[in-house]
């Protein structure tokens, strides 16, 4: 069993709660995002308009990264300001 800790930051935390999900096998970040959107439908609109930066164990990854057992995935909105 693969356990993945999910953390939502900033605007994403308004639409979803930090969670621990379990899977039968490792999955890609892209697959994980689809699962999160299914679980938290309101999150879909936000992710479509504000693409998250994905960190796994504090390191930025792309959508093809395979998330493994006991890893922590964080969704963070892009930072902007002036």
Ordered by where they begin, the domains of the chain are 2-76 (3.10.20.30)
Instruction: Say what the pLDDT of residue 65 is.
Output: 98
Q: How far apart are CA 48 and CA 24, in angstroms?
A: 27
Q: What phi and psi values does residue 48 have, to the nearest 5 degrees?
A: -65, -35
Which ranges of the chain have pLDDT less than 50?
A: none
In the chain, alpha helices (H):
29-39, 41-49
Helix (H, G, I), strand (E, B) or coil at 81: coil
Q: Is the pTM of this model over 0.75?
A: yes
């Amino acid at each position: 069993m693969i356990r993945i800790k999910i953390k939502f930051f900033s605007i994403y935390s308004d639409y979803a709660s930090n969670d621990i999900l379990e899977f039968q096998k490792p999955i890609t970040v892209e697959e994980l995002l689809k699962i999160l959107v299914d679980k938290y439908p309101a999150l879909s609109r936000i992710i479509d308009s504000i693409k998250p930066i994905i960190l796994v164990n504090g390191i930025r990854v792309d959508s093809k990264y395979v998330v493994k057992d006991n890893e922590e995935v964080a969704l963070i909105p892009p930072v902007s300001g002036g």
